[in-house]
Amino acid sequence: MLVIRSTKNLLRDMKIDKTITTIDIADPFFSWHANLVFVNKRKHIVLINDLSRLSLTLAGIRSTQYKNLENIFKEQLKNYLISENINNSTINEYLNECNEAFYTTTNNRSVLGTLNDIVLIMQEVRKEFDNYYDLNRWNNDRVYKSIDLNNQREYLRPIDLFNKELEKRYIGLFDS
């Protein structure tokens, strides 16, 4: 189950009814916070994974694409992870578990703060990228997720933490 925790601005733009279901309990690995942002006069949706703080920017989104947002997100995530040389089998296993998407409101101020930092950086830098894989790679190289490993603080790039979690959950499935 994929949970997309949208800001009020995004929910309003998507024209999602205010009687949205609140989902408090969800695996943070399958939970993504999302925000609507305008960069260079184009509408983007920036998503950030609750567990790893991996961000994904869906660029140039049109209002007519909202009904297919779940599939656009999964396709863009897959393409980005492949560009980061992540094992294709583990990517597919993750996406298979994202078979149904639920839209709800944000619930984690820490994740929302990181999401807002990414949005601010994107708006201030206004850097042009050759493609959106480069934009996502650039974003994920600048924000680090602090984790506790053996009672020691370690800072990992979001892509490294996301990949580590993929391997932890799925890599044993493909051993012969």
In tens, the pLDDT along 50-67 reads 999 999 999 889 988 998
- pLDDT per position as a tens digit, 60-92: 899 889 989 999 999 999 999 999 999 999 999
Specify the pTM.
Answer: 0.88
Residue 100 Cα to chain centre, angstroms: 16
Distance of CA 94 to CAs 46, 75, 91, 132, Å?
Answer: 20, 12, 5, 21
- List the CATH number of the domain containing 103: 3.30.420
Q: How far apart are CA 32 and CA 50, in angstroms?
A: 6
- Overall domain count for the chain: 1
Q: How far apart are CA 70 and CA 8, in angstroms?
A: 18
Residue among 50, 89, 63, 99 nearest 169 (CA): 89
State in Å, rounded, how far the first CA of the chain is from the last one.
Answer: 28
Distance of CA 13 to CAs 70, 88, 115, 147, 151, Å?
Answer: 16, 33, 18, 34, 43
Beta bridge partners of 103: 4
Q: Within 13 Å, how many C-alpha atoms sit on residue 142's CB side? A: 16
- pLDDT per position as a tens digit, 138-172: 888 876 666 665 666 677 889 988 999 999 999 77
When pLDDT is cut at 50, 70 and 90, the band that residue 17 belongs to is low
So what's the pLDDT on residue 150?
A: 60
Q: How far apart are CA 106 and CA 150, in angstroms?
A: 30
Contact (Cβ atoms closer than 8 angstroms) between residue 29 and residue 49: yes
Q: How far apart are CA 47 and CA 35, in angstroms?
A: 7
2-6 and 55-59 as β-strands: parallel, antiparallel, unpaired? unpaired
Q: Within 13 Å, how many C-alpha atoms sit on residue 131's CB side? A: 5
Instruction: Give the structural domain span for 46.
Output: 2-174
So what's the pLDDT on residue 136?
A: 84
